[in-house]
């Protein structure tokens, strides 16, 4: 442990004012206000979109988000994913030293291709990745056409 040298009060008042300001700022940056969506770094999570013969697939990285905090809606071929990443406060008197993890609400809407069947949507959350599977309309799926040779 380092011992801190005692300074006579008022001796260096300008510095102690700075100390006070620094403390106030530190408190502000540690507060819940900074956790809120106003300062969210990535309230629009990155997505990947892919297709195969039968389906379209959407992938979204949302680590730490609980299934119940995700809200998926689809209307007129627009898929809207809303959710909240909650900062779970520890029950113990926990001190945070360093935090790069973002908390808050997020939202992303994606216009699906015309050939997506918006009545057939499945969602799955695995290892912090949301996977939404949207079936292709029956009429656009590739079909095998038999060629008859006479």
Residues that bind another protein (CB under 8 A): 46-52, 56-57, 59-66, 90, 92-102, 125, 127-129
Our CA dihedral for 66, 71, 74, 77, rounded to 10 degrees, sits at -60
As measured in angstroms, the least distance from the Cβ of 36 to another protein is: 17
Structure tokens belonging to residue 93: 């008197």
SS3 19: helix
Which helix H or strand E contains 120, and what residues bound it? strand 116-126
Q: Which is nearer to another protein, 75 or 90 (CB)?
A: 90
d(CA 73, CA 80): 5
Nearer to another protein, 18 or 72 (CB): 72
| Nearest CB to another protein, comparing residues 12 and 99 | 99
CB of 126 to another protein, least distance (A): 8
Min CB(76)–another protein separation in Å: 20
Q: Which CB atom, from 56 or from 106, has the smaller least distance to another protein?
A: 56
d(CA 136, CA 114): 9
Q: Cβ of residue 19: shortest distance to another protein, in angstroms?
A: 22
3-state class (DSSP) for residue 83: strand
């Amino acid at each position: 442990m380092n011992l801190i040298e005692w300074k006579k009060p008022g001796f260096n008042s300008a510095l102690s004012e700075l100390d006070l300001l620094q403390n106030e700022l530190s408190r502000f940056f540690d507060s819940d206000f900074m956790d809120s969506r106003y300062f969210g770094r990535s309230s629009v999570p990155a997505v990947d979109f892919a297709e195969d013969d039968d389906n379209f697939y959407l992938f979204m990285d949302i680590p730490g988000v609980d299934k119940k905090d995700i809200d998926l809606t689809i209307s007129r071929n627009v898929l809207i994913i809303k959710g909240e990443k909650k900062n779970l406060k520890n029950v113990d008197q926990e001190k945070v030293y360093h935090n790069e993890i973002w908390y808050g609400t997020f939202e992303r809407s994606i216009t699906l291709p015309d050939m997506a069947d918006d009545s057939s949507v499945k969602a799955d959350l695995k290892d912090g990745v949301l996977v939404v599977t949207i079936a292709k309309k029956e009429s656009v799926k590739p079909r095998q056409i038999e060629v008859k040779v006479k």
